[in-house]
Amino acid sequence: MGTTTVDIPEALENGIERELERGKYASKSELIRAAIRAFLEQEDMIVERTLSEKAKARIEEAREQDDSVSHREVFS
């Protein structure tokens, strides 16, 4: 596992300390890893949703044109 050093504003540091006091996380590292995982999962969902919306739009566009479109054209 790699190590990364970051500067954290005092307000965020206070929030981290509050979460640690609540006992949900055993360490700052555990809390920060969980936050990064949640962020990355959210970003992946946004990308998937965007791609899905683009595919739907291309399918609808093809239907409106009443042309036969291959799946390769829709998902390219």
In this structure, is residue 1 part of a structural domain?
A: no
Q: How far apart are CA 38 and CA 25, in angstroms?
A: 15
In this structure, is residue 39 part of a structural domain?
A: yes
In this structure, is residue 26 part of a structural domain?
A: yes
**Prediction pTM value:** 0.59
CB 73 within 8 A of CB 61: no
Q: Is the dihedral of CA 62, 68, 70, 73 positive or negative?
A: negative
In this structure, is residue 2 part of a structural domain?
A: no
* Domain coverage including residue 16: 10-74
In this structure, is residue 5 part of a structural domain?
A: no
Question: Is the pLDDT assigned to residue 32 strictly greater than 90?
Answer: yes
Question: Is the pLDDT assigned to residue 69 strictly greater than 80?
Answer: no
At residue 70, the pLDDT reads 64
If one counts the domains in the chain, the total is: 1
At residue 45, the pLDDT reads 83
